[in-house]
Amino acid sequence: MGIHNTVMKMFNKSIAFGLVGITVTDRYAGVCPIRGSSMAPTFNPSLESFTDDYVFLEKFCLDRYKFSHGDVVIFSNPTNYKERCVKRIVAMEGDYISNVNGATRVPEGHCWVEGDNSAFSSDSRTYGPIPLGLIRGRVTHVIWPPQRMKKVDRRIAQDRLAL
Name residue 26's amino acid: D
Residue 163 carries which DSSP code?
-
Question: Known catalytic residue: 38?
Answer: yes
**Mean pLDDT for the stretch of residues 96-116:** 89
Let me know if 87 is a catalytic residue: yes
pLDDT at 19: 56
pLDDT tens column, 28-53? 678 889 888 889 888 887 766 667 88
CB contact set of 149 (below 8 Å; sequence gap of 6+): 141, 142, 143
Q: For residue 24, give the 3-state DSSP assignment.
A: helix
Mean pLDDT, residues 144-148: 87
- Residue 40: other Cβ atoms inside 10 A: 19
Q: Which of 59, 87, 121, 124 is catalytic?
A: 87
Give the mean model confidence (pLDDT) for residues 103-131. Answer: 91
On whether the CB atoms of residues 115 and 123 are closer than 8 A, the answer is yes
Whether 71 has a pLDDT exceeding 90, the answer reads yes
Q: What is the DSSP letter of 151?
A: E
State the maximum Cα–Cα separation within the chain, in Å, rounded to a whole number.
Answer: 76
Q: Please state, as a whole number, how many other Cβ atoms lie within 10 Å of the Cβ of residue 32.
A: 19
Active-site position among 38, 59, 121, 124: 38
| CATH number for the domain running over 2-162 | 2.10.109.10
Residue 85 or residue 7, greater confidence: 85
Under the banding of pLDDT at 50, 70 and 90, the label for residue 26 is low
Q: What is the pLDDT of residue 120?
A: 87
pTM of the model: 0.80
